[in-house]
Amino acid sequence: MKKVFLFGFALAVLAACNSKESGTTAGGEKTVSDAPDIKSPYEIGYSSKFTMGNPKNAESVLALWKSWEGGDLNTSKDLFADSVELYLADGSKMVGPRDSVLAGAQQFRSSLSSSVPSVDVIFAAKSTDKNEEWALVWGKEVNTSKDGKVDSVYLHEAWRFNKDGKTDRMFQYAVPATPPQN
């Protein structure tokens, strides 16, 4: 049921992003004209103006997930900017030079005997008022610790990309795949 909801939600977002297409830029990106502002009773903290982004960013996130699954983050090192910010679902953050952040992430990944992701939704988005590229992914991760304990979480991650096409910031949100027992 959750996968159906996520898929339907992603389709609705994609349809909304493409509803006012008016052409493409010289770089092949889709442009949107006359997109109405969202009328919100809340102040929008970041942006409410998005269009479809560069698909290469979504492909980069999938490559990052594949590196995580393989257990060797060095295979995707070049997809990261020189300075990286990772905001993790447990409330912790890793901020600093790429090599330091990746070393910390690798240390955690190495504590697992396996990490198997599945992807439900992935798409690239561009904040037109911030001129920033993002890739958004929803999926599930099944982690097995070295002592054999298996843990599963549903994930949502938002990855930001700089002007060079390198990711420099990621926000991660998670919910346990199995509800807690009462």
Number of domains in the chain: 1
pLDDT recorded at residue 172: 98
pLDDT exceeds 90 at position 27? no
- CATH code at position 169: 3.10.450.50
pLDDT exceeds 60 at position 10? no
Higher-pLDDT residue of 111 and 23 is 111
The verdict on residue 28 lying in a domain is no
pLDDT recorded at residue 37: 80
What's the whole-model pTM score?
0.80
Four-residue CA torsion sign, 6, 138, 85, 164: negative
Average pLDDT of the residues of the chain: 86
The verdict on residue 8 lying in a domain is yes
Instruction: Calculate mean pLDDT across residues 43-69.
Output: 96
